[in-house]
Amino acid sequence: MSAEPMLPSQRVAQVCLFLVGAIAVFGGALQMYLGQPETAPRLDNVHRFMGGVYLMSGVTGLWAASTIRQHNTLIFLFALTAFVGGLGRVLSISKVGLPEPAALWLTYLAPELVIPWIIIAAQLMTNRQRAATGEAVQGVGE
């Protein structure tokens, strides 16, 4: 690990990853606990399973944020994971409507559609700055 200070763009991506990771850990744990009340066992089962996937996605995001200097492709993949999750909400809203209270669900949706693009832009800036100084830009597993 480099002793040099972190690039500002890398710090932005890191903060966003911590935020998205924390949201996923909290949301996933809550969904595993709550399940899908007043529904068929099949839907509750799928809901709690996806809650576990969401929770562990958050753990992965927190780990990636804490070790951000070692990653490149993983940062993009995690940003896209959050964005595609937001697209799932958009699809749900378009098919079955906006849950109540609407403001709460839109508050969930906004960061899922915006923060991933901030992460991607920050990582692209980091890659350009690192390439300009001759530092190798690593992919997953490098």
Structural domain of 25? 8-132
Reported as a pLDDT band with limits 50, 70 and 90, residue 138 is: low
* Nearest in space to 61 (alpha carbons), one of 11, 107, 8, 24: 24
- The answer to whether residue 1 scores a pLDDT higher than 70 is no
* Cβ atoms of 126 and 9 closer than 8 Å: yes
Number of domains in the chain: 1
The pLDDT of residue 37 is 85
Instruction: Specify if 1 maps to a domain.
Output: no
Residue 17 lies in a domain: yes
Tens of pLDDT, residue by residue over 76-98, are 999 999 999 999 999 999 999 99
Q: What pLDDT sits at residue 139?
A: 59
Structure tokens at 116: 């991933």
Q: What are phi and psi of 101, to 5 degrees?
A: -75, 130
Residue 139 within a domain: no
